[in-house]
Structure formats: structure tokens, C-alpha cells
């Protein structure tokens, strides 16, 4: 990859060489650099203050061992991480991911994206991400608790409501958040809103569980309204992923009048032309079953052991809500052939760069994750506000605030795309709009 701007190209080549072993991080940097090249020459003090060099390096990376004792009384050791990427506009904010795939490349990619995603919300939140190569699958509650307490016994010293505020992510749900927060509270001897995604009985926020999935649909609503002069009513929708994001994106799409005709998870897929039974899918997920048994109840439905079958289903709107790079260029070709109209990312960069470029080239309305899935972190920010003032807002109040935030994000992205002469290119718009806020803060605060 080569860029016309000499400063941009020099920094990119240095990053590509230094981090050639971190493909996910380089993917995020590449997409970002492609966008900001359009405005870089208009920005004062950019090169002189080394803004790019500072942007691509995390302010701090914390790596530590996490020893814990399993139910057989054997000592296990995992790796723990926290990447505190950028705090120019507020305390670090981003989830914790517990999954065997966790490594520094993935966490740097997520932390880098989180920086601009958080800026887009309009809330004073910096970017960070963390986690461990631990998995809760197959572990007892006591084992999960012991791991979480060991993890927090190191991480707690780096956290605080005005310093770094983690939340959940893949593998970190309400159970893990409870154990992590409980031990943080014990170690610090204080009750603060240092972790978000908490239970409602101890400082959590209404809508937090639903927020990312709902936010994705609110973002699509804005695209439909402003760029297609249309609504969700009657639209055929497919959703990948059956975690909170996918389930609640499907739920909200149905509430808004769409027909969800296909859903998938890691090892299975269901296609139901009558519209999926979301309650059944939710039960299957809760029972830790794949989607193959869906057809036992609905024989007319098609099921597959391949989640890739989802992208072959003709639809108007596709919502990739599972994981990074799940939708590749071959999938994109099929979706385009089947006349998809909107792709909206519910996960973090679930579409490869090649697939994204192909969608945009073919005039498909494409919403990048750093904008479209910001509802989760936005509601985490609202949880922090409620914790700070010792209040608890109703579901309706939080939901209205979430809608307003997603609308603001959409319009900020669209206006930035107009600024660079490519109206409707929301990938460019999201990168540029989020970046400009971080850039302004970094320049005004000096070289630190």
C-alpha cells in the first residue's frame, strides 16, 4: 500500500514494517489512512506535531499473567492485556474480551477503532480495549470467578472512573462483569462506575444489553430515511451472530416492520422465508445448542452447518454482527448479485477491506462498525453518567438518548462524506469525523 501524501506514506510504511505480524491492526490502520488522506493536506500542525505517529501508537499497553486454580486444584495461567490507546478526549473506554483468539494485534485493532468510535458518539470518551486468552466455555462458575478475581487483582491498579472504564465484549457477559466489578470494589474499597455493563441492582443501565443491536437498527433507519427515503417495513433482513448484538438487532428490525429471513452463529445457519422465530433461536442459544434443530419445530426452514450459507440468502439489508472479517469478497459478490441494498456492520470490522471496497464500488449503502455499532459504548457512557449523579433512568429515557446519539453519528458521518466530495460514503465519513475530533484535542493539548 502506497499513499500520495509523503508524510502519510512514510508513517504507514514504518507501521507496516514494525507491525507486519499484526494483520488485524494493520487492516484498521490501512482503512483509516485511506480515508484521512483526503483531508490531511488541509490540517495545520499535522506533521509538525507528529499527530499520525502518536495516533498509531497506544499510550500504554499493559500485559500480565493471570494465575488461577481450577476445580481439580491445578494451577492454570492465562495472559491478560489492556491496551490504553488514546485518552485525548476522555478516559479510556472499551470492552474486555475473553477468548482464545485474543492477542495484541486484535486488541490494538479494537482499541484503535474504539478511539474514533467513541469520538463519534459525542461523549467525552477515549479509546481502549483489553482481555485475555481465557474462555468461560466448559468452566464452572467458581472457576470463572477465580479467574476474574485474579485478572482484576492486576488490572484494578490501572482503572478508575476518570482513568479507564472497561466493559464487556465477547466472552464477558453479565456473570463475568459481576465478578470483575465485585473484586474491583473490594480491592479499592469504593463504589464507583469504573466498569459498565453492570447488573441493574448495582449501578447498571437500562437498554445496555440491547444497546448495540438496537443502535445498529437506529443507524439503518437513518440511512433508509435520509438516503433511500424508505423504512424498514417489509424489508428482508439477514443477521449473522446470535450474541446480544445479533439477537437484539433482529428483535429491533422485526419491531420496525422488517422480516428477518436468516440468522447464523459460528457453526450453523437457519433460513426461514416466513420470518425466523426469534424466541426459538434465543432459547437454542441459551441452551448452548446450534441452530440445526430449528427445523425440528419448523420443517419448512432450511438449516446448514455452515454459517457462510447466510450470505447466499437474497435480502435487502445484511447485518454482520458476529466477528471480524466474517464477510469476505466472495460473499460480497453473492450479496451484490442478489441485489442487497444496505450492509450495516454490527460487529467490529466484520467485512474485509476488499469486500467493503466492492460494496462501495457497486453503490451499496455501507455503514462501518465504528459508526453503526457505537450504540453499545454510547449507552455505557450513559451508564457512567447515571453512576456519577447517583441516578437510574428509565428504559424509555435511555432508549431515546440512544436514538438521538445514533442519529447524530449518522449525520456527522454523512456531513464529513460531503466535505470530501463523496456524499454517502459513510466509511470515509466515519473515519474523518471521528478523527477530526481526536486530532483537534491532540493538537490543543500539545505533544504528550
Could you list the active site residues? 129
Task: For 375-397, give one letter per residue: b (16+ CB within 10 A) or e.
Answer: bbbbbbbbbbebbeeeeebeeee
Q: How would DSSP label each residue in 48-77? A: TTTHHHHHTS-SEEEEEEEEEE-TTS-EEE
Written as nine digits, the cell of 187 is 480491592
Written as nine digits, the cell of 369 is 462498525
Report which DSSP code applies to 82.
Answer: E
As a whole number of angstroms, the distance between CA 385 and CA 396 comes to 16
**Packing angle, helices 353-361 and 329-337, rounded to 10:** 30
Residue count of the chain, please give it: 448
Bridging pattern class, strands 268-271 and 302-304 = antiparallel
The CA-atom distances, in angstroms, between 111 and each of 85, 151, 160, 166 are 6, 19, 18, 11
As a whole number of angstroms, the distance between CA 439 and CA 7 comes to 16
As a whole number of angstroms, the distance between CA 37 and CA 146 comes to 47
Q: What is the CA radius of gyration of the chain?
A: 21
Neighbours of 59 (CB within 10 A): 17
As a whole number of angstroms, the distance between CA 162 and CA 433 comes to 24
Report which DSSP code applies to 47.
Answer: T
Amino acid at each position: 500500500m502506497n499513499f500520495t501524501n509523503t508524510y502519510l506514506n512514510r508513517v504507514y510504511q514504518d507501521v507496516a514494517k514494525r507491525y507486519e505480524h499484526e494483520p488485524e491492526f494493520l487492516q484498521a490502520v490501512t482503512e483509516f489512512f485511506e480515508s484521512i488522506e483526503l483531508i490531511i493536506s488541509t490540517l495545520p500542525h499535522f506533521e509538525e506535531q507528529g499527530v499520525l505517529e502518536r495516533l498509531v501508537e497506544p499510550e500504554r499497553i499493559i500485559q500480565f499473567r493471570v494465575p488461577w486454580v481450577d476445580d481439580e486444584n491445578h494451577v492454570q495461567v492465562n495472559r491478560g492485556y489492556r491496551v490504553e490507546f488514546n485518552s485525548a478526549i476522555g478516559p479510556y473506554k472499551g470492552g474486555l474480551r475473553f477468548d482464545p483468539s485474543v492477542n495484541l494485534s486484535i486488541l490494538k485493532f479494537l482499541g484503535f477503532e474504539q478511539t474514533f468510535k467513541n469520538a463519534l458518539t459525542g461523549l467525552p470518551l477515549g479509546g481502549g480495549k483489553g482481555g485475555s486468552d481465557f474462555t468461560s466455555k466448559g468452566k464452572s462458575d467458581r472457576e470463572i470467578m477465580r479467574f476474574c478475581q485474579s485478572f482484576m487483582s492486576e488490572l484494578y491498579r490501572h482503572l478508575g472512573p476518570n482513568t479507564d472504564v472497561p466493559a464487556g465484549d465477547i466472552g464477558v457477559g453479565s456473570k463475568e462483569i459481576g465478578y470483575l466489578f465485585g473484586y474491583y470494589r473490594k480491592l479499592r474499597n469504593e463504589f464507583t462506575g469504573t466498569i459498565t455493563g453492570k447488573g441493574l441492582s448495582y449501578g447498571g443501565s437500562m437498554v445496555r444489553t440491547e444497546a448495540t443491536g438496537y443502535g445498529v437498527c437506529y443507524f439503518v433507519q437513518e440511512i433508509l430515511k435520509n438516503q433511500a427515503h424508505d423504512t424498514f417495513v417489509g424489508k428482508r433482513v439477514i443477521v449473522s451472530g446470535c450474541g446480544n448484538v445479533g439477537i437484539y438487532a433482529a428483535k429491533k428490525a422485526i419491531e420496525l416492520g422488517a422480516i428477518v429471513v436468516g440468522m447464523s452463529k459460528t457453526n450453523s445457519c437457519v433460513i426461514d422465508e416466513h420470518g425466523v422465530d426469534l424466541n426459538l433461536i434465543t432459547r437454542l442459544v441459551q441452551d448452548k445448542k446450534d441452530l440445526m434443530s430449528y427445523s425440528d419445530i419448523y420443517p419448512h426452514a432450511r438449516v446448514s452447518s455452515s454459517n457462510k450459507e447466510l450470505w447466499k440468502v437474497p435480502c435487502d439489508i445484511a447485518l454482520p454482527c458476529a466477528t471480524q472479517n466474517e464477510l469476505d469478497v466472495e460473499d460480497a459478490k453473492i450479496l451484490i448479485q442478489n441485489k442487497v441494498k444496505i450492509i450495516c456492520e454490527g460487529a467490529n470490522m466484520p467485512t474485509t477491506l476488499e469486500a467493503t471496497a466492492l460494496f462501495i464500488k457497486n453503490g451499496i449503502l455501507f455503514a462501518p462498525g465504528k459508526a453503526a455499532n457505537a450504540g453499545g459504548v454510547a449507552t455505557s457512557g450513559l451508564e457512567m453518567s447515571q453512576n456519577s449523579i447517583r441516578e437510574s433512568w428509565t428504559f424509555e429515557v435511555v432508549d431515546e438518548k440512544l436514538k438521538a446519539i445514533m442519529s447524530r453519528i449518522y449525520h456527522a458521518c454523512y456531513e464529513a462524506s460531503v466535505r470530501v466530495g463523496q456524499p454517502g460514503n459513510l466509511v470515509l465519513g466515519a473515519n474523518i469525523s471521528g478523527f477530526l475530533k481526536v486530532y483537534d484535542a491532540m493538537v490543543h493539548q500539545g505533544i504528550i
